[in-house]
Amino acid sequence: MYKEIELIIFSDKLSKSEIASQLEMSYNTFLLKLKGKYKFSLDEAVKLKEILKTEKTVEELFSTDTAA
């Protein structure tokens, strides 16, 4: 669902399991949140941005607009 996040994780060869651990959530919860089944809290979104080390804004990362 969050294509920009998935793209960064893939292109930087990051581990979803490690990201989940850094966010202090289970791997399965992280996957469900990435798929949009559950929402990320604002704190989680900000922390995820830091983990991904991206210049993109939180709004850009979590955009569901396919044109973004």
> Which tokens in the block code for residue 12?
């930087």
29 part of a folded domain: yes
Whether 30 and 14 have beta carbons less than 8 Å apart is answered as no
66 part of a folded domain: no
28 part of a folded domain: yes
Whether 10 and 1 have beta carbons less than 8 Å apart is answered as no
CATH of the domain at 52: 1.10.260.40
> Which tokens in the block code for residue 3?
């294509």
**Averaged pLDDT, 55-60:** 96
User: How many structural domains are present in the chain?
Assistant: 1
Whether 4 and 63 have beta carbons less than 8 Å apart is answered as yes
pLDDT tens digits along 12-55: 999 999 999 999 999 999 999 999 999 999 999 999 999 999 99
Structural domain of 57: 3-61
37 part of a folded domain: yes
CA distance 36 to 55: 23
68 part of a folded domain: no
